[in-house]
Structure 1
């Protein structure tokens, strides 16, 4: 990780869970991290606990569903810390409901697309532009995806969310091909976790589905992945030699069924 010391990483959805764990890990490794989320106070509090670390955490408030706020975020990064060398698209959410039931709404589908797909694409585009403007040829893009982008879950409340993650899977390969065609060594990877011990699954399992399991019932059957386990995978990707491109890491609790 020595070559990343002092360089700039953007982490979206940085206030809690996986995003917060990634911020902590990268700051400890010596990177300058810009963590963005709508709830910026949690990121500031995280930064206070990292003041003695090798790197530094900047908190930036951003609603990723709004194009103008994403563009302003990248302008702030350029003006204050120089530009993005690592972009970790962690932000994502599921508005749980069936595809055909009364709770299925266009607004819910659009909200998931805005954050899980459109924001990921825009942040990636702006990050790559930032790298190329400054002659950075060894940057890294990492999409935090999901196992739901590799198989359709049997829970009907997850189907549209799963569709957005299948889209991320396709975009990862699309980004790889376009970066190669640009004759750049900027790499792209995805990490697709299964059940992780975060608030995400609290929301997921208290869906409108009448047979949804409780978080307690689910996690009593297995030890879930910890957010730091995902953060360790980020460090692994960054630690590989520049000529090695890790494409997709699938990770799940040992006892997870699917």
Structure 2
């Protein structure tokens, strides 16, 4: 991890759950972490959950990942204030569990695609531009899902276009691997696909239906990311699947 000490990491969707855990873990290991979120005050509150040294390394910046102009402006602010981006964690993602795709309006589907796919694409473009211009190394993470490899049953919990959006993330990981290589950079790409994770995205209705299902903690996913980040420069973990013991899907 020494090569990342005091370098800049950007985490999207950093206000809660997996994103918040990743912010804490990165700052504890000496990276300067900028968390992008709509609820920026919750990112700043993460300073209270780490030691004093790590607290000084956590910064929040308000950004709606659905808004391309906000994403571009956020990365410009980060570079101007903190320096070039070395690590990007594309964690921002939403699901809509209120309507079937075959019956619902396009509003939910649009929100999911704009956040889970286009927001990721815009953030990766801006981070990669910074990485390429400043030494040509770095690490881009895509927080994916097992739903991006296999469509879960939608009979009990409608998922709308969530699973297709995560299939897109799986494909994007390979697209980026080839593109980063073709531009002769040393930028790594890693897709992390967790199983069921206990986070705020689980509604009370869902919690009742899934109460007996094994689950991961957000810190488990953050631990997996740190494992990938600390690999030697010549090692790239392209895809990592992490499930709780006992998960059947």
**TM-score computed with the length of structure 2 as normaliser:** 0.94
Q: Indicate whether 1:80 and 2:94 are aligned.
A: no
Q: Deviations over 1:16-67 (max 9, x none)?
A: 0000000000000000000010001111111244351346001101111101
> Aligned residue for 2:139?
140
Q: Which residue of 2 aligns with 1:100?
A: 102
1:220 shift after superposition: 2.9
In structure 2, the residue matched to 1:235 is 226
Q: How much does 1:178 deviate? A: 0.4
* Residue 189 (structure 2) aligns with: 188
Q: Secondary structure at the match of 2:66?
A: coil
- Of the candidates 211, 218, 222, which is equivalent to residue 219 of structure 1? 211
Q: Distance in 1 between matches of 2:137 and 2:22?
A: 20
Unaligned runs of 5+ in 2: none
Alpha-carbon distance in 2 for matches of 1:215, 1:253: 16
Preserved contact between residue 145 and residue 166 of structure 2 (Cα < 8 Å): yes
How far does the alpha carbon of each residue in 1:231-252 deviate from its partner, in whole angstroms, 9 at most, with x for none?
0011011111111110111111
Partners of 1:246 and 1:188 lie apart in 2 by 8
Measure how far apart 1:159 and its partner are: 4.5
Kindly report structure 1 stretches of 4+ aligned residues shifted beyond 4 Å: none
What per-residue deviation string (whole Å, max 9, x for no partner) do you get for residues 105-153 of structure 1?
Answer: 1111111111000010110011010011222x32000000100000011
Report SS of the residue matched to 2:89: strand
Matched, 1:245 2:236: yes
Matched residues, number: 245
* Aligned mates of 2:241, 2:159 — CA distance in 1: 18
CA–CA distance in 2 between the matches of 1:120 and 1:180? 19
Deviation of 1:2 after TM superposition, in Å, equals 1.2
Conservation of the 8 A alpha-carbon contact between 1:195 and 1:201: no
Superimposed CA distance per residue, residues 174-202 of structure 1 (whole angstroms, 9 cap, x where no aligned partner): 00000111111100011000110101122
Distance in structure 1 (CA, Å) of the matches to 2:180 and 2:243: 29
The 1-side partners of 2:213 and 2:133 are apart by 50
Secondary structure in structure 2 of the residue aligned to 1:139: strand
1:89 maps to what in 2? 90
